[in-house]
Amino acid sequence: MQLTQFSDYSLRLVIYLACHPERVVSVSEVSQSFGISRHHLVKVVQKLTELGVVDTQRGRSGGMQLAKSPSQINVGWLIRHTEPNFNLVECFDLATNTCPIAPACGLKGALHRAQQAFLHVLDEYCLDQMLTQKKELINLLQGSTERGATSD
| Pick from 127, 142, 133, 140: nearest CA to 67 | 127
Model pTM?
A: 0.86
In which band, very low, low, confident or very high, does the pLDDT at 1 lie, cut at 50, 70 and 90? confident
What is the CATH number that goes with domain 5-146?
Answer: 1.10.10.10
* Half-sphere CA count of 24, side-chain side, radius 13 A: 11
In which band, very low, low, confident or very high, does the pLDDT at 72 lie, cut at 50, 70 and 90? very high
Reported as a single tens digit per residue, the pLDDT across 139-149 is 898 876 555 54
Reported as a single tens digit per residue, the pLDDT across 37-48 is 999 999 999 999
Write down the number of H helices and E strands in the chain: 6, 2
Q: Which tops the pLDDT comparison, 113 or 150?
A: 113
Q: pLDDT at position 144, please?
A: 65
Residues 9, 40 contacting (CB under 8 angstroms) = yes
User: Residue ranges per domain, the chain?
Assistant: 5-146
Q: pLDDT at position 48, please?
A: 98
End-to-end C-alpha distance for the chain, whole angstroms: 26
Whole-number percent of the chain with pLDDT over 90: 78
Residue 82's H or E segment, with its range, is helix 75-82
User: Residues near 48 by Cβ (< 8 Å), separated by ≥ 6?
Assistant: 10, 13, 14, 54, 82
Measured from the Cβ of residue 108, the count of other Cβ atoms closer than 10 Å reads 18
Reported as a single tens digit per residue, the pLDDT across 89-141 is 888 888 999 999 988 999 999 999 999 999 999 999 999 999 999 999 998 98
Spatial separation of the C-alpha atoms in residues 42 and 140, rounded to whole Å: 22
Reported as a single tens digit per residue, the pLDDT across 75-97 is 999 999 999 888 888 888 889 99
Q: Could you tell me which residues are beta bridge partners of residue 63?
A: 57
Spatial separation of the C-alpha atoms in residues 48 and 54, rounded to whole Å: 6
Spatial separation of the C-alpha atoms in residues 21 and 6, rounded to whole Å: 22
Q: Is the pLDDT of residue 59 over 90?
A: no
Q: Is the pLDDT of residue 151 over 70?
A: no
DSSP-derived letter for residue 106 is S
